[in-house]
Amino acid sequence: MEVFCEVARQRSFSEAGRRLGISRALVSKHIAALEQHLQIRLLHRSTREVSLTGQGLAFLTPCEEAVQQARAALALAAHSSDQLRGILRLQAPASFASEWLADILARFGLDHPELQIELHADDALLDPVRHGFDLSIRVGGIPDQFGLQMRTLAPCRGLLCASPAYLARAGIPAHPAELTQHRCLHFSHLTQGARWQFQRGDEHCEVTVSPVFSANNGRALHQAALAGAGIVYHTSFLAARDIAAGHLQVVLPDWQVPLNHLTALYPATRRLSPAVRTLIDVLVSEFSPVPEWDRLSGLGAPV
């Protein structure tokens, strides 16, 4: 069942074998044995691709859930001692992974040398069960259809910033409404689209911008802002170091954009393994009481 789930994810016998550490022939043998046991055909094979049959698609979700429960049971038995071991698979936004998470995971791995950590850096929110993740670290809440539990890790605030060179050339906006006269860099995964929202005390303001550059990756927008391309709707964790160094300047500092949080997401139906539980506790400790990115950028604790 584990082999079938991996083949379904990779759409390839060879790639599934590589990820599982077994040969392509052994992958094929496991699939054939499973199909013979079930008396159904799970996969279409051709020389160019592998795809799920209708029965294979129906079998995949309960199969993934069973595999995850089996892994959790094995992990629980293996972790009866204090030593964490096994494989820990997690997903996180690409920019956060490179800017802050990789260093924490490196130290976590050194503290637990028998643990194998697999990080998938992707700005899209993928279903942890379907993609075999033990933990997903995301900005924001939980899509209802995924059936996930959540633990808040740290505040993750949005802010506007631009390079000093751009602001010297184009001027500094004094009110959000003036953004329509500026070059705006937009993160295309924002749920509200290109309608940027602001609040100052009891005053609310929404501005629909016409981005000159949109991207689904925060690091790409960050580089564009550093190059003087315009004003970027940014995240505090990605902007902090360059704000502290003077390479970026906060725009409209008296206005707040909606407060968000970094969250740890995991399947509601799955008992947390010791490795996942320990890593979540480490992350909460790392980011409390004020995460380093807010200290570096001078934002302090959210109010």
In the chain, list all ranges with CATH 3.40.190.10: 155-258
Task: Decide if pLDDT at 247 tops 70.
Answer: yes
CB count within 10 Å of CB 60 equals 18
Task: Decide if pLDDT at 1 tops 70.
Answer: yes
Q: What is the pLDDT of residues 186-228, one digit of tens each?
A: 988 776 778 999 999 899 999 999 999 999 888 999 999 999 9
Instruction: Show Cβ contacts of residue 179 under 8 Å, excluding neighbours closer than 6 positions.
Output: 160, 173, 196, 207, 209, 231
Of the pLDDT bands very low, low, confident and very high (cuts 50, 70, 90), residue 303 is very low
Integer Cα distance of 139 and 262 in angstroms: 5
Per-residue pLDDT at 248:
96
In the chain, list all ranges with CATH 1.10.10.10: 1-78
pTM over 0.75: no
Q: What is the pLDDT of residues 50-60, one digit of tens each?
A: 999 999 999 99
Q: HSE of 88 in the Cβ direction (CA atoms, 13 Å)?
A: 25
Token digits for 196? 């940027």
The per-residue pLDDT of the chain, averaged, comes to: 87
Q: Where are the beta strands (DSSP E) in the chain?
A: 43-45, 50-52, 86-92, 115-121, 135-139, 148-162, 184-187, 195-200, 203-208, 213-215, 231-235, 249-251, 259-267
Task: Decide if pLDDT at 290 tops 50.
Answer: yes
Token digits for 74? 């094995």
Q: What is the pLDDT of residues 81-127, one digit of tens each?
A: 557 888 999 999 999 999 999 999 999 999 999 999 999 998 877 77
CATH of domain 155-258: 3.40.190.10
Integer Cα distance of 194 and 178 in angstroms: 15
Question: 1-78 architecture in CATH?
Answer: Orthogonal Bundle (1.10)
Task: Decide if pLDDT at 139 tops 80.
Answer: yes
Residues 125, 143: contact at Cβ < 8 Å?
Answer: yes
End-to-end CA separation in angstroms for the chain: 49
